[in-house]
Each structure stands twice: as structure tokens, then as C-alpha cells.
A = this chain, B = another copy of it.
Amino acid sequence: MSDPRSTALKYSQDNRARTLEELKELVAIPSVSADPAFKPDIQRGAEWVVAKLTSLGFQNVQILDTGGHPMVYADLMAAGEGAPTMLIYGHYDVQPADPVELWDTPPFEGVQKGELLYGRGASDMKGQVVASIAAVEAALHAGSVPVNIKWMIEGEEETGSPSMADFIKKHAKLFAADFALNPDAGMLSATQPTITYGLRGMSYFELHVSGPALDLHSGFFGGTVRNPANELARVLGGMQDVDGRVTVPGFYDKVRELTEEERADFRRLPQNDAFYLEQTGAKSLWGESDFSAYERATARPTLDINGVLSGYTGEGPKTVLPAKAMAKFSCRLVPDQDPFEIEALVRKYIEDHIHPSVTWELKLLSDAIPSISERDSAAVQAMAKAQETVWGVKPIFRREGGSVPVVGHLQGQLGIESINVGSGLPDDQLHSPNEHLHLPTWEKEIDAFIHFIYNLGEG
């Protein structure tokens, strides 16, 4: 007679091929949240999760109207009031696939090549959603789950979770939990389990600049009115110096300085400058010289243009003075910066610097609060032990440069800390063509989640 932990691990192992097929099913749904054309597929993504959780016997399974894309909620409170309640977070939406022509396989088809599964969302984060469900399924099969479980699987993370701030505040009681599990944070390498204790936040902007009433002949009118593309370049180009320092006044005021202990930890991480050089394929690294590339990528704020468009961009020369110009740009934020304070500073910078002969509009497309979690909580320690059991080495504690808006909202509004883990690897090409998932690591993550559930019961 075996204990529940072993039963669950064996069940999971025996069902691995089916679980992979389920992941391929979910990848095949092009649930792109940024583009309204994919709205029906967003709905299909939510329904796939509902069907799966319903089949496992979860209760209160429902698609909640967030005002934006739908969220799947479900719970199973069978462990009772004395047991801790874990909120498992996930998102079923994905980034757009473009530029589609750079993919070697169809982006919305899970294609296995050796140890890798290719497809948009395979790693970010459909693979992680399926892994967490698979672990819970195994524990339920084993008949003994020592924690109450709530699911919160949203559909707009890749657009910055614009509905989540209000939605979480409004449903504070529904989502109440002792801690949250967020498997959207990835790991350092396939052999190094990782717990992420800090995440960057974000303010994502869209700036529109308009000048003349219509596109003009640059010969007839060049020199008489401000060209909105020139003005956009001048203002945006001036927001950051050549060395990477953002020039917006007040931008760094709330930045929490790194402690010597943190910086010492970071120096032991394998993500040295050579790693970043190889991962990015850039000619050389760049940025604030007082900080390592890892520190710049995880614990320092940024300002990056994400997209810019104006005028004629086809082949050959067109001598047009464009009527308008548009840029998307975003600041990754670190504790204790606030996305709305940053919005106000950026808005004031533009007001102070842009020429009054153009008109402009700045929209905050998404916001995320940066977060920091306690390393020595019972739940974090349960995860650390689970990872050590599976990988044979202790996890590394690190910060991460990406943003999980819900983690910020849960912490800021409900007081719920998140355990940020996941099987995503740095070279998975998230958000890029040929995104893929490393399957052996993904399978270890499922086992680690099973151990984590039982470790919680022993805590």
C-alpha cells in the first residue's frame, strides 16, 4: 500500500502522454488577447479550461465576466477550514504570433521536435497551466489533497490584465486565500530550480502625435509646420540618454535600492553578462554601467519603444510630410515605483517638452504593480523543498524582469503573496517566433507541484 504522494506521482507519470496531448489541444486554440479578431478563440480558451476543471470534480466552475476577457474560476474546499487555501493563478491567453513568417512551424499547432514542443503559448503559459492542473489531478486521484484549492485563470495577461485591478478588488472574498501559486515566472535553467521573489511592474503607453490636417508634400510644405514624426522622435528619443538612464524627472525617486545581500546573491546566478549577450544575439550589451545586465533586467526600471509607425513605410522614397505618428512604449518598473505615478511623470515630461504646434494623446494601455515576496514563509519553504526533491539541488532565489499584473494586484489589494515559479526557460523565445517548451523540465515541474501539495500538508 502506497502513500498518496507516491500514488499521485505514479498516476501523473502514467498519464504524461495524455497530458501532453491536452497541452497540444490548448496550444491549437489561438487565444490572442491583444487582437479583437481572436475574440472567439479567447472564449474557446476559457471553455477548454472550464471543461477540464469540471471533469476533475471542481466546484463553482464558472466563466466570470471581468469586463474584458473572461476569467475561469473554480474551487474545491474539501480540505476544510483548518487547511490552508491556495489560489492557483494562470492565464490561457497568448501573445500575437507576428511576425508569422519567421516561424518554422505553424504558431498555433503544438509541434514536438525532440525534447521541445513548439507553438505560441507552449511555454508562456499554457504549458504551465496544464502542468498545474495535471498535478492537482494526480493529487485528486490519490484521494487526499491537504489544501483547499481555488483557480484563477485569466484571459488578458498578455495585454497587461487591464480588467484585473478592479475585478480583484470587487471579488476580494471569492479570491481570498492564504497564498497564491503563480507558475508564470520560469526558471534559471533546466537544472536549476528557481523561486522568484521579485517581479517588475509596468506602465505601457501609446502616444499619438498629430500635426497637419493631412499628409503633405514635403517639398511644398517642409519647413513650415512641425512634422509629427520628427517631434515624436525628438521627444521619445530624449526620454533616455545614450547610456540607458531615463531622463524623465522623478522617474527614479521611488526605486528601492538593491541591498548588498541581494547583489551578492545575484553575482552567484549563472545569468552573467555573457549569458545575456548570447541570449539576445546583440553585438554588445548596453545600459546603466553601475549595474550588471542581470540587475538591469530584473531590478532596474526601463523605457523601451515597443512599436512605432508613421508615414510611408513601403518600398522606395515617398516625399510625404506625415499628418500623424504613433508609438507604443513601456516602462518596466521595480519596487516601489507605481505605474500611475510613472504615467503622471511621463505625461508631464511630454507636456513640458513637446512643441505646442502639434497635438498629442497619451494612453496608458496597461499597468502592473511591481512586487516583492517574503522568502521564509511556510508556503515558499514547501515549494523550495519540493524543488530540491525533484531536481536534487536547492532552488535559487532571484528577481525577474517580467510583469505579472495579477501578482501585484493580489499583493497590493488582497494581501496575498505569490510563489512565483514555472518551467519556462530563458531561451524559450517567449513573445518571439518559434516559442517552445522544454518537455523534460515541464514534466519535472508537474512532479514538483505534486510534492509541493503534499509538503503543504506537512507544514
Contacts and interface: CB of A to CB of B under 8 A. Distances in A.
Interface of A: 33-36, 95-96, 98-99, 102, 158-160, 200, 202, 204, 206, 211-227, 229-230, 232-238, 240, 242, 244, 276, 279-288, 293, 296-297, 300-322, 325-328, 330, 332, 355-359, 365-366, 400-403, 426, 429-433
A317 B312 contact: no
Nearest to A404: B219
Nearest to A288: B223
Given A212-B280, A229-B305, A305-B311, A220 B426 contact: yes
Of the candidates A219, A309, A315, the one having the most CB atoms from chain B within 10 angstroms of its own CB is A219
B359 A283 contact: yes
A33 to B, nearest CB: 7
B95 A225 contact: no
A328 B305 contact: no
Contact of A309 (B160, B242, B309, B315): B309
B318 A306 contact: yes
Contacts of A237: 230, 232-238
Given A223-B296, A365-B317, A356 B284 contact: yes
Contacts of A302: 218, 222-223
Most buried by B among A235, A287, A304: A304
A319 B204 contact: yes
A322 B221 CA distance: 32
B312 A96 contact: yes
B319 A431 contact: yes
Residue among A301, A317, A355, A431 with the highest chain B CB neighbour number at 10 A: A317
A317 B431 contact: no
B403 A219 contact: yes
Contacts of A206: 317
Contact of A355 (B200, B218, B242, B430): B242
A307 B313 contact: yes
A356 B283 CA distance: 8
A224 B287 contact: yes
A213 B433 CA distance: 12
A226 B226 CA distance: 28
A450 to B, nearest CB: 28
Given A34-B314, A431-B319, A402 B359 contact: no
B297 A220 contact: yes
A374 to B, nearest CB: 22
A318 B328 contact: yes
A157 B288 CA distance: 47
Contacts of A288: 223
B200 A318 contact: no
A116 to B, nearest CB: 16
13 contacts: A35-B316, A36-B315, A213-B281, A220-B401, A224-B287, A225-B280, A225-B286, A229-B306, A282-B358, A304-B321, A307-B312, A308-B310, A313-B326
